[in-house]
Structure 1
């Protein structure tokens, strides 16, 4: 028998679409967040679980935090879990880099992408008082002398976005790693750093408040909230997209039926207006890319970042 859940949206006249999976799910789904509570992945995962649980009937998506090793503990737990569809990873770009940077015992091939729910493009942000009014000003200054840039840490995707710029256009930076975003923000707003490489999700509220200025965004289109801010590619930086991705993945060997069910569940969540508003209120852009598109995104990111790790001697 097939256990059905309605995965529909109300579009004017009524409910559309339904998805079935054979005897699945019959119990709660463990959504593993490989980071501590309160961070971006945890917050978005809990918003997703809240929305998804409206459509699952007697079973639920239950968020569990398995932090440690910059994500390695939780990621390794899922990589080695029973591929029965009941253990899902809240997956980020660190799954690509942790094996190289930190010697994690798994590889990206140990996971099957389900769907992406958020893309957080990199931005170049400077203090509101910065002499750099445009990305052209920023690049010209960096060509003269390396600029001091705040980053979340050495080996993070933000640090490597700077290394990518060095590879693509030859500009150099001095990196100022910090323990958390608050420390980075203090360095930038206080004028101790020339700027920062940040995800849009964290930079947005401060740019809207007028404490920092965003000069460019590493997305394939301009952000609707900052229509005057050019993309990296428009700015001649040679990087079409550089984004932290967030999505779901399951252990290799999970059935196609379970993957399809979970992907459609995330699609239903994405189409939920209340969920979208909560994501916006939390500073995140809700999106949806199915398993195939998510795989393409992962492949593109891997192709960009792996050579950078190797060329800069960051691999373990």
Structure 2
């Protein structure tokens, strides 16, 4: 093999040093203008619980405004697609639930973007277990009794969710797939109307995030049957996991993550990750984690990307088995 001359080696080292300096300078100079953080859901939803405090602290720490842009529609696809098409300069970012990232690509017949190619993961922000809850009129107080009751209905049983393609919907489909029970999905436009009909007895059960349903569990207006996390929730210490109740395959979370357009310089991605991790370790964000029943889930971009890939495979299988589609 031909050996490089001493001069060539010096030149290569100089190029490497210049490239390193350029990357570091890029990270140090960012941000130099307002940063738009798109949340592809209406204001006040669970994604805002993570997005608004993070944007506020990034504004304070980095000296430039991080402005939340709630851009709902299309099951999260419209706002997410806008970020996917944005310039990869770190000035347009995305905080979203898992739906448009790992569920919609398998559920929707037409997608205007490919999350796996058009977005780069930065870090997970929240990972909240779901709860299977029942109206008090349902004659079941645990999962075994509920499954027996559903089976006895011979296909005349329904469950509500916050909408087609949501983690709530897909967790219901995962439950159906594992148990082979017949249940009809009743989608709503958000958790609030679904919970309203559950409280009114118009639907017997629903899967929902702990964030939304906890007040109604505490008031006794609904019965908590099981939680979908790997461990019991500190907020519901007496409610078993699905695994403890005999269904180890039913593990599900509603998670919320931070993303940037693909091609965003690695130095900027790493800087956003580092700054966000600092925020997540502060008492104010730790309280958010505690209030939502979430564990600390901040991670490196690489580990979060691996998690997203695993979730994509998992939910693609569930969507296929359910036969669910959205035009």
TM-score after normalising by structure 2: 0.83
**Correspondence for 2:111 among 101, 104, 107:** 104
Corresponding residue for residue 84 of structure 2: 79
Equivalence map 1:133-212=2 (5 Å): 133-145=141-153, 146=155, 147-212=157-222
Deviation of 1:94 (Å) = 1.7
1:52 aligns with 2:58: yes
After superposition, where does 1:21-36 map in structure 2 within 5 Å?
21-36=27-42
Distance of aligned partners of 1:70 and 1:78 in 2 relative to their CA distance in 1, 3 Å threshold? same
Partner residue, 1:288: 297
- Is the contact made by 1:242 and 1:301 (CA closer than 8 Å) also made in structure 2? no
**Residue 83 of structure 2 contacts residue 260 of structure 2 at CA under 8 Å; is this kept in 1?**
yes
Unaligned runs of 5+ in 2: 1-20
Distance 1:31 1:284 in 2: 24
**TM-score, with normalisation over the residues of structure 1?**
0.86
Contact 1:117 1:286 in 2 (8 A): no
Alpha-carbon distance, 1:191 to partner: 2.1
* Structure 1 residues without counterparts, runs of 5 or longer: 5-19
Higher helix share: 2
- The Cα shift of 1:232 comes to 1.7
The CA RMSD over aligned residues, in Å, is 2.4
Tell whether the 8 Å contact from 2:127 to 2:297 is kept in structure 1 after alignment: no
Corresponding residue for residue 41 of structure 1: 47
Tell me: CA distance 1:35–1:55, structure 2 relative to 1, closer, same or farther (3 Å). same
Q: Distance in 1 between matches of 2:134 and 2:306?
A: 31
- Inter-partner Cα distance in structure 1 for 2:264 and 2:136: 49
Deviations along 1:56-85, whole A, 9 cap, x unmatched?
A: 1x2132111222222222111111111112
Which residue number corresponds to residue 89 of structure 1? 94
Deviations 1:125-149 (A, max 9, x none): 0123432111111122223334321
Distance 2:207 2:189 in 1: 14
Deviations along 1:38-66, whole A, 9 cap, x unmatched? 2221343112212332321x213211122
Aligned twin of 2:270 = 260
